[in-house]
Structure 1
C-alpha cells in the first residue's frame, strides 16, 4: 500500500511540474544577418553561433532573428535567459526595444559576454501565435563574441536557471579571486619574513613563497576579468595583460613546483628561469599578433606549445614524486596533473571547437594549488613547532644540568667560605691573644725580670691579660649589631674587678636597637675600645665611680663612659681609641677635667 501511495504522489508531482516545464522554450534556430568589412550577408541560423569561428575573428556586427510560437498570450511576465552573448548587444521583442548593453557603435570597449544575461519580458509584449526575439551584437576580435541558445519562459523558471548559471560563472569567479588574493597575500608575507635555511649563508628569502605569491596574484587578476565588464584599458592592451597573467601564473606555478621538489639549488636553475621568461614573453607577443592581425592561430598555436611544455614538466615532476614521495610533492603533483588535464580540455573547447557558452574549468583547479600551499605552510609550521619544542626541551634539560652543577659548586664554595671564616676567626682569636693577652703576659715577664715590679702592678697586668682573654672568647658569640649584649658581657667580665679595685659601677643602659653596620669585626673593635676605656679608668684615673650609659639621644645611638677620676688632657686622645672608633664608623668625643671624664661614642 505504501509503495502504491508513493507512486501516486510521484505521478502527481510530475503532472504538476510538467505544464511549467512545457512552457519553457529554447530558441536555437532562425536567421542571422552579419556585417563584416562593409559586407552584409543573411543566412540561416543554428545556435550556438561562435563569431571567431564563423567570421575568422574579424570585427563586425550581427542581427539574430529568433522566432517562436505561443498558443496564447501569457498572463504573467516572462523572461529571457542568454548563457552567453556579446560583446555588446541589444534585445527587442516583437520590435520593442527591451534592453541595450554597451555602445553598439564603438568597438573594443565593454564586454558583456563574460556573464550570463537575463531580462524580464512584460506580458503585453508577447502575443498569441508568432513572436520574434531580435538580438543585435557587436563583435570584437578575439573576445569570444557570439550567441548561445536562448531560453524564454515564465520568469520564475527562467530566473532559476539564470541564477544557477550566474553563481557558477560570475559569483564563483569572485570567490576564486578572493581566495587567490588571500593565499597570495599569505605567501608574500611568508616570503618577506622567512629565510631559506638551506641557502648559502642562510640569508636568502624562501623562493617557494615568492613564486606561490606571484602565481596566486596573477591568477586572481586573470579570473577577476570575468567580473570586469568595462576594463580600464582598451581591448588589445587588456587582452595582452590577461594573457600575461595566464602565462605568469603558469610560469610561477612551475617554479613553485621546482622549489617544492628541491631542484632550485641545482646548477641548471638559471636555465629554468630563462625558459619561463621565454614562455611568458612568447605568450604576450603571440597575443599581440593575434589581436592586431585578427588571426587567433598565433595565440592558439603558442598556447599549444606552452601546454606541451608544461605537460612534459608536470610528467617529469610526477615521476620524480613517485620515486621520492612526500606530502608536499604529492599534493602539488596531483594539483599539477589535474590542472594540465583541465587546461587541455579548455584549449580544445575554447580555442578549437565551435562550442559557444562554455567557460574555462582551469580557474577552479587553481584552488588546489592554494590548498597545497596552505598544507605545505601548515606542515612546515608544525615541523618548526616540533623542532622548537624539542630545542626548548633540550635547552631546559641543559639549564637544569647547569643549575645542578651551579648548586653543587655553590655548596662547595659556601663550605669553603665557612671554612675560611672559621680559619679567619681562629686567626683573629690568635691575633687578639697575641696582641692583647700576649703583650700583657710579656709585660708581666719583664716586670718580674726587672726585679722592680710591685706585687700590685704585676697582679693588675695579669688581671688585664685574663680579662682580655675572656673578652676575646666572648666576642665569638656576640650577635652582630647588638650593643646591649656586648655591654652585658662586658659588665659580667669586669664588674668583679671593678669591685676589687674599689670602683663603684653605675649602670644606665637602656634597650638599644641593633646598629646595622656593626658586623662581627666591628663588634670586636667596639668591645676592645670599651675595655681599653675601662682599663684606663682602673689604672690611671684613680676614680671611685664609673658610670656606663647607653641609649638613643635625638635619634642617635650613644654610648658614654663617665668617671670621677683625676682626668687627663682631652686634646690628646689616646691613639688606640681613635683608631678603633674610625674602624667602626663611630664619632668619638672626649671631655675631661678633674672629677669628671666622659668618653662618648655616637653612631650617626
Structure 2
C-alpha cells in the first residue's frame, strides 16, 4: 500500500495547531490570576472550620480526607479594565456544585449546594461580570463549593479580567478538557465497536482486545463530560479507575499480540496486574486521598508501559514491519505522556490533573488501528484480486484442456460412428443382398430354376438394395414418408404378384428420436412381412394400415389369404427375426392369423425409451429371400 510521507512544513503546521489547542497560551496583560484567598468551611456533621488564609490551589480531599461539607472561598481584586467594559471570570476547577457572588451579588451557580454534583468539578466554567458590579478597588469574590468526599473538590486559581481575554482562556480549557475527551470518546466507541463486530464474526483476539481497550477508555472519558449519574460518587470513581486499568491491560496485550512477543512472563505479568488492579488499585484511586496513592499507582502504569514499549522495539527490530514500527512509536508516545503526567503530579502536586495529556492516549492507537484496518482491508482485497486472477487463469487453462478433450472425444465418436455405419452397411450387404445373390447363383448353377424364378430373386435383391439406400436418408422421424418409400419400392412387385394393395395411412406424428438405423429395421420388418404374404399367403388383397393415438403408432399388414398356425411356426427363423427387429426399434410385434387372413401389427411408441440410442447395430437380421 503506498504511503505519502508528510512534508516538514505540514508536520510543523500540525504541531503548531495542536500546541495552540492544548497549551494554555500566554496570558494577556490585562488578566489577573487570583491565588491568594481565605477559606472557611462547615462540615456535614456541623463542625465549623474558621477562615484561614491560603494560596490556591486548594485540594479539599488532601486537607480533609473523607469529609464532606460547604466550603467558602473569598478572593479580593482591583478592576484593571475600563469601567464600561464587561469583565469575566474563568474558574478552571471548583470541585462540585458552586455559587459565585461578586460584592454580595449572585452572578453564577452550578448545581445545588445541598446536592453536590461531582461531575461539575471536571469542567471549567466562565462567569460574565456585569460592569456595574465591578468596583475599581476592593472587589470581593466569594465562591461557595459543595465539597463531596473523594470527589476532588476544592478550588484552583481564578482568572479575572476583560471579558474577551478571559473567555478566550476558558474556551481553550473547555476545548481541551471537555470537547477533546468527547471527541476522543466518540472515536473510541466507533473504532472499538467496529473492532468488536469484526471479533464477533471472526473471533480474532487482536480485534477483541483492541475493541475492549477502546470501549473501556471511552467509559473512562465519560468522567470529563457527563454530569452526575444516579450512582454514588465512590462507585463512579471506581468505574472510571477500573476502565483505565482495563484499557491499559487490553491495549498492552493487543500490542504484544501484533508483534508476536513470545515472552510468557510478560503476558503473565499483565494478567496478574489486571487481577490486582481491579480489586485493589482501582478502589484506592477512587476513594483514597492519600498523597502517595495517585503517584505510586501511576508509577506502576508507567513501568508497565515502558516494559511494553521495550518489547515493541525489540519486536520491531526482530521482525520489521510497518505495523510493528507504528505501534512501537505509539507505545513510546504513550509512555512519554504517562511519564510526563506522573512527573507533573509528583513534582508540582497537580492533584487535579487539569492539564493532563494522558486523556488523549487512545487517539494515537485509534489512528494506528484505523490505518491497520485500512491496510488489512486493502491487503485482503488485493489478495482476493490475486486469487481471482489465479483462479481465472486456471479456469481458462482447464477450459482449454476440456475443449481439447472434447474435440478428441468428438473425433473418436465420429470415427466410431463411421465404423459402425460402415459395419452396418457391410452386414446389410452380406446378410441381405449378399445372401440373395448367393441364393440366385445357387439356383442358376443347379440348372433347375426357371427364368421367372431367377428374375424374382434378382428383383428381391434389388428391393433390398434400394431399401438399404433409402434407410440412409434422414426422414426426421416421419414414418408416413418411410411407408411411402416402401410402397414406392415394393408396389410393382406386389402388383406383379396379382395382389391388390389398399393403403390406409393416417396423418402420423413425427418421431425425432427415430434414427436411420431404426428406420432400416422397420423397413426390413415390413419387407419380411410383405414377402411372406407374397410367397405363402395365396392372398388376393394386402391392406396397409397406419394409425396413431396418444401412446404409439400402429402399422398393420393384413391379407385375406389362407392363414397359418402361429403356434406351429413360433420357432421359425423368419418370425424370430421380425421379433428381434421390433425390439430393436423399441416396439412390439403382434401376429394374428386364422383361415381367411393374417394381420401383422407393429406398435412403435411415441416417446423414446430410457437410454434410447440410434438402435443396436446388427440387432436384426436381413430379410429372408
Q: Does the TM-score normalized on the shorter chain lie above 0.5? A: yes
How many Å separate the matches in 2 of 1:232 and 1:315?
A: 42
Q: Which residue of 2 aligns with 1:253?
A: 251
How many Å separate the matches in 2 of 1:425 and 1:246?
A: 90
How many Å separate the matches in 2 of 1:553 and 1:324?
A: 84
Q: Which residue of 1 aligns with 2:173?
A: 165
Cα displacement string for residues 430-462 of structure 1 (whole angstroms, at most 9, x for unaligned residues):
444444345545655776788765554454344
Deviation for aligned residue 1:166:
2.4
2:238 to 234, 237, 240: 240
How many Å separate the matches in 2 of 1:423 and 1:224?
A: 90
Q: Which residue of 2 aligns with 1:111?
A: 119
Alignment of 1:584 onto 2:582: no
Deviation for aligned residue 1:58:
6.4
Q: Which residue of 2 aligns with 1:202?
A: none
2:53 to 29, 37, 44: 44
1:188-199 aligned at under 5 Å gives the runs: 188-194=196-202
Q: Which residue of 2 aligns with 1:436?
A: 432
TM-score of the aligned structures, taking structure 2 as reference length: 0.77
Unaligned 5+ segments in structure 2 are 1-27, 607-625
How many Å separate the matches in 1 of 2:561 and 2:311?
A: 119
1:279 to 273, 287, 290: 273
Q: Which residue of 2 aligns with 1:303?
A: 298
Deviation for aligned residue 1:326:
1.3
Distance 1:216 1:289, change over 3 A: closer
Q: Which residue of 2 aligns with 1:177?
A: 185
1:523-602 aligned at under 5 Å gives the runs: 523-542=519-538, 559=555, 561=557, 566=561, 568=563, 576-577=577-578, 579-586=580-587
What's the C-alpha RMSD, in Å, of the aligned pairs? Answer: 4.0
Contact 2:538 2:562 in 1 (8 A): no
Contact 1:118 1:159 in 2 (8 A): yes
Q: Which residue of 2 aligns with 1:198?
A: none
Unaligned 5+ segments in structure 1 are 1-20, 195-204
Q: Which residue of 2 aligns with 1:368?
A: 364
Distance 1:489 1:404, change over 3 A: same
How many Å separate the matches in 2 of 1:458 and 1:467?
A: 14
- Count of residue correspondences: 568
Out of 75-84 and 402-411, give the one that drifted further. 75-84
Deviation for aligned residue 1:168:
2.7
Q: For 1:144, what is the secondary structure of its paired residue?
A: coil
Out of 484-493 and 305-314, give the one that drifted further. 484-493
Cα displacement string for residues 71-111 of structure 1 (whole angstroms, at most 9, x for unaligned residues):
9997787654322211332222332444543454567x633
Q: For 2:532, what is the secondary structure of its paired residue?
A: helix
Q: Which residue of 2 aligns with 1:476?
A: 472
Distance 1:237 1:281, change over 3 A: farther
Distance 1:104 1:181, change over 3 A: same
Out of 132-141 and 566-575, give the one that drifted further. 566-575
How many Å separate the matches in 2 of 1:281 and 1:351?
A: 26
Contact 1:53 1:354 in 2 (8 A): no
Alignment of 1:414 onto 2:423: no
How many Å separate the matches in 2 of 1:281 and 1:309?
A: 14
Deviation for aligned residue 1:275:
0.8
Cα displacement string for residues 157-196 of structure 1 (whole angstroms, at most 9, x for unaligned residues):
65555444323321221221111111111222222333xx
Contact 1:59 1:141 in 2 (8 A): yes
Q: Which residue of 2 aligns with 1:29?
A: 36
Alignment of 1:93 onto 2:102: yes
Q: Which residue of 2 aligns with 1:397?
A: 393
Deviation for aligned residue 1:135:
0.8
How many Å separate the matches in 1 of 2:385 and 2:347?
A: 56
Q: Which residue of 2 aligns with 1:465?
A: 461
Q: For 2:510, what is the secondary structure of its paired residue?
A: coil
Q: For 2:399, what is the secondary structure of its paired residue?
A: helix
Q: Which residue of 2 aligns with 1:147?
A: 155
Deviation for aligned residue 1:220:
1.0
Q: Which residue of 2 aligns with 1:339?
A: 334
Q: Which residue of 2 aligns with 1:131?
A: 139
How many Å separate the matches in 2 of 1:501 and 1:126?
A: 148
How many Å separate the matches in 2 of 1:292 and 1:180?
A: 27
Q: Which residue of 2 aligns with 1:230?
A: 228
Q: For 1:67, what is the secondary structure of its paired residue?
A: strand
Deviation for aligned residue 1:40:
2.1
Cα displacement string for residues 446-491 of structure 1 (whole angstroms, at most 9, x for unaligned residues):
7678876555445434432342244234323344513344345434
